[in-house]
Chains A and B, each alone.
Chain A
């Protein structure tokens, strides 16, 4: 029987599960369907409740995984088919082309410099983040290689000035390219690692157990929610997180989208988009502490910035969380127990007026701020549905993976040998993800 383990999702949960199982002596395949491992944590600035820098504590683990003799990382890789026989899973993986020879690319960035087209970044676009059509997922990416926007190859970016596309044949038909500037730049570096004609590569592996660690997403609010997507200075909490981050699109300057000025008065609306009839029907657990963290860091950047948090019930449930909240209050953060019901924009200043009912006084009040942050909650990965189908395990009504018996057999799914951990089980913070990853890896190696 195979002694190998497949871990699906390379966020902090997947990374920890991989290191545990790898150190234990099992062969581990760690796959992620994006171009790098790291997950959400790689994009965060600091982490509550200690304000440790997120990438500082995560990237050493990413390098450790990368250099681990028992762990094989497969990025841009999806699970396509799973068959279980006599306790062994046969899994068909599909490694989707990055159009880069991962063995040859050294991540030097010459191709990126050569690429003529910048487009808004998937994550940071709204707050000014741009990337080229060939790009590094983020500076600490593992594997540290470039990846090409697949749209580029099919000529879909021609009108933006992309160099390739519009040829009589598709890139997949060629074996060299005289046109693409990235190909040329890489050749000039002597590497020749850009392979526009690279094909997806199927791969079959045999394993004894599977850990699902596909994580969470930050919810994207509907257009119009508190003026989101209508007023330029209404952003989500993940976008704010990126604004604070020295490695983000503004190099850590907390500037608002409309005029790139430092915001001097910022409000957070908690539970934005949450409701019993419409929107998220549950509490996402981490948002109160995320907002608390964001206010503290904002104050660290500039103590004179005014910060207001509109909240309903404060979730300060974990170890060290209450003290963290106390620290925010000491730093002058104002928490207002309130139900905001309307936001409007001053067309001239682009400032936002929030009208709310103060739940402590039952008064209707209003306040003007320069930047509004919506704490929109955590939702399951939209790819969970497909994965659940392939793995033949169930999702709950919210789209998270269902545990067969959460109380007595936590992290076990309906199929023996398949376990879940981290955000894949529901909203969760980093430390709980790490705990679950250790537990899931225990179950997986014991299989």
Chain B
């Protein structure tokens, strides 16, 4: 480090919010005595427009090249201060934020002198890290505008059209001989009373797709390989017997679903009068139902059992087809045997229509499915009717099974190509079921339609448009950008064990020439890889081992035996800490918290260092399960804590002094209680 390091420290009063408890002038004086600190100031309201302007002046005047802000919380104010230092000509990665309102003045109101001591420690820790900070920058990976859409059903076609309408290029790959997917096998499609011929819907959509100059369609095509990552996919295709290779920047998966054929159940396969809903749709479509008199529809076949949930669309499909049969001939008797009628708002009205048309609904018990019987060649369905409390047999000349669904047969292959996962039924697993329903964990690949889970046409098309939006954002911008907090591997130290590439939740580490290579724009900076690398070859920019250890050392410079080192993740755990602050929950002053992006960043050596230096205890705090901003970082952290305990015991430290808490951003009380409990159990009271 040759450069002349000049740290500026800005301590905020937050009116009386901080200054009312903490002796800020004393802190400022103390700070001025710290090594490398060239300047320190007290600000009444550091975030006010006036002070921000002053701060910029002071940074320039004093030639500062590192900035420490001690104020409220980074969760809300870090972006503002980052912008400010940037405007003052300092690289924003050279800013360190110290939280002294949420972590001190709001929660230690009864003890101003201890609160002031704590602030001094926190600022000293901040300076220790700031000194080691290095310039960083957002990382960009260029992304062109070709999008591969796999699957030419309604979802895939909708996605391709939306991509193409922006002037981007869509390559639509369908394994069958024609576009349309499931709809090619259906008779009418029904939604909220509106009925349309499936063939008409497909025809209109296919016309749009095929006439679009920005869409290239491949039918009878099979994906042979997809290699690379966003912006850099190489796709190999086998279409009509020959191989073709092209580049793509993004991928949309729209491979749809299939019925699970109930072979060997309900006489399916052995008697042609037992069919599935798709087969019935085929009969209706071709006007081939014939002279039937008694139709029995059995719902929830292979659904809602130990291994599989509700098929989502079965109830409304059964009602639609019952009505279609009634339309064919109102004298056909139709019975629907069901467990629950899962029909929501708009579908509820169809149910009433069906009842009026004379369709009978019979509810059978969850654990007593109907049976298909055959006597003298005559079919029948034996069912126990809950309402009547008795069992009887319905004569039948057509039995329709509303079966469960599974992902397309090719899902295993697609999984391998794209390195994504599916659930046991072959439906693809989204990045986050609530907030990332159309994304995969890896940037650049999105998901839509029945490939994700069974759904009706409206939902499939919405997902198609939505997935197109997700894929379009980087294509429109022309790049994918990652924050500068990323992993960096020292290949001279690396022994190519492969652990990091295996563990990265985002697939950001690719294996190239027997060595790991971090695709920086894909890295989210969780630090999981660095914490577990057996060779210590990986560093996380802005959260390096050196920087974190410097914070530990600074925290424990004085009276380590009274102090608890806490590693808290930036998201939920710090949210919980902040919540305790906002709620003014009072707890003991012993903790010195060190922020990491994810609890998975906390390497065992950090914990060990704290105990070596005599810390009273160590706390690792992360998001409450199953939430984790980095998908599964907290699970990795939990495993590692177990290992850390063993190692501590081996080295003669008391493993019981290593605590952990998984806490939600709403859970201020949980964090405050943990602090109280720790202080008590560690005998620090």
Contact = CB atoms under 8 A, between A and B. Distances in A.
A359 B582 CA distance: 49
A59 B459 contact: no
B673 to A, nearest CB: 11
A289 B483 CA distance: 37
Contacts of A436: 462, 466
B592 interface: no
B194 A317 contact: no
A435 interface: yes
B340 A50 contact: no
A110 B14 CA distance: 11
Nearest to B573: A56
Contact of A407 (B16, B17, B48, B457): B457
Contact of A320 (B306, B309, B389, B468): B309
B344 to A, nearest CB: 5
B664 A438 contact: no
Nearest to B15: A189
B109 to A, nearest CB: 12
B477 A190 contact: no
A360 B389 CA distance: 8
A188 to B, nearest CB: 7
Interface string B433-471: 111111000000000000011000111011111111110
A319 B191 contact: no
A317 B310 contact: yes
B56 interface: no
Tell me what chain A mostly uses at the interface: helix, strand, loop, or mixed: loop
B145 interface: no
Interface in B169-225: 189, 191-192, 194, 196, 201, 204
Contacts of B192: 406-407
- Place the interface of chain B in its size category: 35 or more
Contacts of A414: none
A317 B342 contact: yes
Contacts of B191: 406-407
Interface residues of A, number: 84
B14 A441 contact: no
B476 A435 contact: no
Contacts of A316: 304, 309-310, 340, 342
Contacts of B54: none
A35 B370 CA distance: 55
B434 A52 contact: yes
A103 interface: yes
A52 B308 CA distance: 22
Contact of B437 (A322, A398, A435, A443): A435
B348 A283 contact: yes
Interface string A303-329: 000000000011111111111001000
A434 interface: yes
Contacts of B665: 53, 55-56, 59, 140
A245 B666 contact: yes
A442 B344 contact: no
> Most chain-A CB neighbours within 10 Å: which of B310, B427, B459, B579?
B310
B470 A438 contact: yes
Interface stretch (A147-155, A161-169, A424-432): A424-432
A139 B309 contact: no
Given A285-B344, A322-B308, A359-B386, A438 B466 contact: yes
B344 A60 contact: no
A109 B458 CA distance: 46
A1 interface: no
A320 B308 CA distance: 9
B44 interface: yes
Residue of B72, B665, B667 with highest tally of chain A CB at under 10 A: B665
Contact of B465 (A285, A432, A439): A439
Nearest to A62: B76
A139 B458 CA distance: 37
A56 B664 contact: yes
21 contacts: A25-B476, A52-B626, A53-B664, A53-B667, A56-B623, A56-B664, A56-B665, A106-B45, A106-B72, A139-B579, A246-B666, A247-B667, A318-B453, A406-B194, A407-B194, A407-B457, A431-B435, A435-B463, A438-B470, A439-B469, A442-B472
Interface of A: 12, 16, 20, 23-25, 45, 47, 49-61, 63, 67, 103-104, 106, 108-110, 139-140, 144, 188-191, 245-247, 251-252, 281-285, 313-323, 326, 359-360, 362, 398, 405-408, 410-411, 426-427, 430-432, 434-439, 441-443, 445-446
